[in-house]
Structure 1
Amino acid sequence: MAIFSMRVQVVKRSSGRSVIAAAAYRSGTRLHDQRQGITHDYRNKRGVECSEMIFPKDAPAWVQGIDREGFWNAVDASEKRRDAQTAREIYVSIPRELSPDERVRVVRDFVTDSFVSKGMVADIAWHLVPASDGGDNCHAHVMLTMRPLVAGGFGNKVRHEYIPDPQGRAHPDGRVMLVESNSQSWNSAAYYETCRLRWEQLANDALQRAGSSERIDRRSLLERGIARLPEPMLGAAYHMKELYGRMKDRFGQYLAAKHAREVEQRATVALDRLDTISPAEAMRTVERFRAWFDRKLDHLPMAREGPMPDFSTPSHSPDMER
C-alpha cells in the first residue's frame, strides 16, 4: 500500500551534528570533514541505490564541477557560529509500486520544482531497504542548503518574521493573530505545506502512469475522517540493533550497554504515552523520538581510514534507513 510520509529536520551544530557526516551517511560515501579533521566512511552502507547533486541553473562559476566533499565543506566553512544550522533534510517515502527509474524521476522532478528552482542546492540519496512487512521500503533523503549561492560563496538566509495579521484577525480570546511576513521564506510553514501538496501530486501522477490504483494522501487520519490511531513505528527494534552495534564499535561492551539502556528507556517513555494522548500529539511524540534517534546514530561513527565494517545483525535492514 502506498503511504504518504514526509519529514523535515535541520542539521545543527548545537546538537553535535556534522553536515559532512550527514552527507556521507545518506549517500554511502567517504567524505573528509576539513573543519574537524575527521573522515566519515560509509562506503559499506547497505541500501543506497544511487545519489546525485542538483545545482540551480544560474549557479555561480565557483560550484561548477565541485564534488560532494568540496561543496559540503564549503557550506560548513561558511557558517561561523558554533550553534549554526548548516543544512535542511527532507525525507520522503516513495511508493514501492514504482519502478527504479520512475522512483529516481519522480524525486528528481519534485526536488527540482520545489527547492532547486528557489535557489537551493540539493543532495539526493535514494535508498531501498527491506521493510518490516517483507516488502520494499523505498525512500529518499534530500539535503538542502540553508543559504542561496552567490559569487564566491553563500548569501543571506531567506527568512520571515511573524507580524500582526493585515486583515485584523484575532484569536477567540482576543489575542492578535500573527502571520508570516514572507510566505516564500525557506522556513515558512505555508511553503512546506505547498511542498507536501506538490509531492502528493507528482507521486500520484507517477502511480497513474505505472498503472497502479494506489494513491497517497498528505492529509491526517482525522482530516480524512478515519477514526483510528496511527500505526506504531514497527522498525524501532531494527534501529536499536543497528545502534547497539555501532556503540560497541566505538565505546566497548560496557559503555555500549549503558547507552543501549538509555535508548530503551527513552523509547519506553515515548511509546507508552501514545495510549494517553491525542492522535496529533501521538504523531509528534513519534517524530520527536525518531529525530532523537537520528542524532544518536549521527554521533556514533568514529573516524577511520578504511571502510566501516557492517554491524547489522538482523536478517532485515532497519525499516527506516536514516
Structure 2
Amino acid sequence: MALFSMRVQVIQRSAGRSAVAAAAYRAGEKLEDQRTGRVHDYTRKQGVQRTELMFPDNAPAWVQGIGREAFWNAVEAGEKRKDAQVARELYVAIPRELGPAERISIVRDFVQANFVSRGMVADCCWHSVTASDSGENVHCHIMLTMRPLTSDGFGLKIRHERIKDPEGKVYPNGRPVMINSNINSWNCSDFYEKCRESWENIANAALLRAGVEARIDRRSFLERGIARLPEPMLGIAYYMKTVLSPVFREKWGQYHMAKHWQELEQRVKKAFTGLETEPTRMGDRARSARRWFNWFDRQVERMTPVDKPNRAPPRNYTPDMER
C-alpha cells in the first residue's frame, strides 16, 4: 500500500557531520572532503538507482557543469563557524505502485516547485532497497543548500524569528500565540508543512494517472478521525529471518511493541496527573486509569529481557577444578 513518509534533518558540524560525506554516502560515490582531508568511498553501496544535481534557472556561471565533489566542497568552504549548519536533507518515500519513470518525474516536479524555484540547489539520489515485507522500499534523499547562490559563491541565509501574533491571540492559559516572522524562510516549519502538502498532491496525482486506487495522506490518524494508534517500525525483523529463530523474532517483536506502549503510557500519565487532584468525576476516571496503568507496567516488566548472570571463572581457577 502507498504510505506517506517525509523526514527532514539538518547536517551540521556540531554533530561531527560533513556535507561532502553525506553526499558521498547517498550518491554511492567516492568524494574527498577538502576541509578535513578525508576521502569518503561508498562506491560499493547498493540500492542507488539514480543521482542528479538540480540548479535554479538563473544559476551563476561558476556552477555550470560543476560536479558533486566540487560543489559540496564549495558549500563547506562557504561556512566558517565550527558549528555551522551546512545542508538540509529530506527523505521522501515514493509509492512503490509507480513505475520507474514516474518515480523520477514526481520527485523532479516536487523539488523544482518547492526548492529549486526558491533558489536552492538540490542533490537528488533515488534508492530502492528491500523492505521488511520483502517488497520494494523506494525513496529519495534530497540534499539542499542552506544559502542562495551568488555570482561568486553563496549569499546570506534567509532566517526567521518567533514573534507574538500581531492580532494579539492568546491560549486559554493566557500565553501569547507565537508565529513565524518570515513564512518564506527556508528554516520555517510553516514552509515545510506546505512541502508535505505539495508532495501529497503530486504523488496522489501520479497514482491517479497510473490507475492505482491507493493514496497517501500526510495527516495523522487523529487528524483523520481514525480510532487507531500508530505502531512502531519493526524493519529489523526482515534481517533476522536468516540468522535468528522464529521464536526469538516473535519475542523481539513483542518486546518492541511493549516498549512502544510503555512510551505511549508515559505520555498519557502526564495528561492524567493534573486531573488526579481534582475532586471531580474526571478525577475519579483518572484514578481508575492509573490503576490500569500500574497493571500494565507489571506486564511490561515481565516481558523485559533479564540480564544473564556473570559466568566468568573465579580468579583462582585451575585446571584441577574441572575434575
Is the pair's TM-score, using the shorter chain for normalization, greater than 0.5? Answer: yes
- The alignment partner of 2:163 has SS state of strand
| TM alignment of 1:79-94, pairs within 5 A | 79-94=79-94
Shift of 1:271: 4.7
| TM alignment of 1:160-179, pairs within 5 A | 160-179=160-179
Q: Residues 188-230 of structure 1: CA distance to partner in whole angstroms, max 9, x if unpaired?
A: 1111111000000000000011110010000001111112221
- Does residue 276 (structure 1) correspond to residue 265 (structure 2)? The answer is yes
Identity in percent: 61
Query: Could you tell me how far apart the structure 2 residues matched to 1:277 and 1:94 are?
Result: 33
Give the 3 Å change call, closer, same or farther, for CA 174–113 of structure 1 in structure 2: same
Q: Which fold has the larger relative contact order, with Cα–Cα distance below 8 Å and residues 6 or more apart in sequence?
A: 1
CA contact (8 A) 2:232 2:257 kept: no
| Partner AA of 2:27 in structure 1 | S
- The alignment partner of 2:231 has SS state of coil
CA contact (8 A) 2:27 2:48 kept: yes
What residue is the counterpart of 2:60 in the other structure? 60
What residue is the counterpart of 1:114 in the other structure? 114
What residue is the counterpart of 1:77 in the other structure? 77
What residue is the counterpart of 1:199 in the other structure? 199
- The alignment partner of 2:72 has SS state of helix
- The alignment partner of 1:123 has SS state of strand
Query: Could you tell me how far apart the structure 2 residues matched to 1:93 and 1:37 are?
Result: 33
What residue is the counterpart of 2:125 in the other structure? 125
Query: Could you tell me how far apart the structure 1 residues matched to 2:6 and 2:217 are?
Result: 11
What residue is the counterpart of 1:101 in the other structure? 101
Count of residue correspondences: 255
CA contact (8 A) 2:7 2:90 kept: yes
Query: Could you tell me how far apart the structure 2 residues matched to 1:128 and 1:63 are?
Result: 29
| Partner AA of 2:21 in structure 1 | A
Give the 3 Å change call, closer, same or farther, for CA 187–273 of structure 1 in structure 2: farther
| TM alignment of 1:1-322, pairs within 5 A | 1-236=1-236, 271=260, 273-278=262-267
What residue is the counterpart of 2:311 in the other structure? none
Q: Residues 214-257 of structure 1: CA distance to partner in whole angstroms, max 9, x if unpaired?
A: 100000011111122212212245689xxxxxxxxxxxxxxxxx
Query: Could you tell me how far apart the structure 1 residues matched to 2:2 and 2:266 are?
Result: 27
Q: What are the ranges of 5 or more consecutive residues in structure 2 without an aligned counterpart? A: 241-255, 271-323
Query: Could you tell me how far apart the structure 2 residues matched to 1:278 and 1:205 are?
Result: 37
Q: Which moved more, 1:268-277 or 1:192-201?
A: 268-277
CA contact (8 A) 2:231 2:260 kept: no
TM-score by length of 2: 0.75
Give the 3 Å change call, closer, same or farther, for CA 95–193 of structure 1 in structure 2: same
Q: Residues 84-128 of structure 1: CA distance to partner in whole angstroms, max 9, x if unpaired?
A: 000000011000000011000000100010100000000000000
Give the 3 Å change call, closer, same or farther, for CA 6–239 of structure 1 in structure 2: farther
